[in-house]
Chain A
Amino acid sequence: EVQLLESGGGLVQPGDSLRLSCAASGFTFSSYAMSWVRQAPGKGLEWVSSISATGNTPYYADSVKGRFTISRDNSKNTLYLQTTSLRAEDTAVYYCAKNPQNIVLVTDWFDPWGQGTLVTVSS
């Protein structure tokens, strides 16, 4: 069974940094692209970032470009999202999700999703 388990969320102040992790199991992690999607409290879903299976090709939403960095360690079956210069509007549950193949394509969907980790940015 495919499992994705996020961790690393918490309460931080504006301008702080946080590294989110997503531990994957139940599939060959190194063969699939992965993504982060977030959901602000009571709001809809927002794609944040995606990365190819090799980790060579990252993609970012304009809202996080230059502040967030996606990466992965295929030897540890773990996906990361390094967040910096956090703002109040970054407050959200951050989900990691598996893409359908090894490269990121415009046709991609996200399946499955982890249970999410909450990031709260507040002074």
Chain B
Amino acid sequence: GQSLEQPSEVTAVEGAIVQINCTYQTSGFYGLSWYQQHDGGAPTFLSYNALDGLEETGRFSSFLSRSDSYGYLLLQELQMKDSASYFCAVGRDSSYKLIFGSGTRLLVRP
């Protein structure tokens, strides 16, 4: 079958670093993406990994290990505005047939 697993909730303190893990099981793997969604808002794209390794975009980094079917999103210097849900998604057979995880709700405390 096809599935993605990520923690349902994570709590962290402002200024800290948090890592959100995502493990996946799918045929025809075609990249791992991360999206942020604030309550009542639309998902917004954060990052994409097609190959193993770390991709860095400002305070956010994303990592992929295809051999372990595993990736993570790393958020540094957490800010209150980072409180949101974060979804990992994998492309199945193409980067356009996407399967999303059920999301991780991040709460950043002062």
Are the chains A and B members of one assembly? no
Q: Which residues of A contact B (CB under 8 A)?
A: none
Q: Which residues of B contact A (CB under 8 A)?
A: none
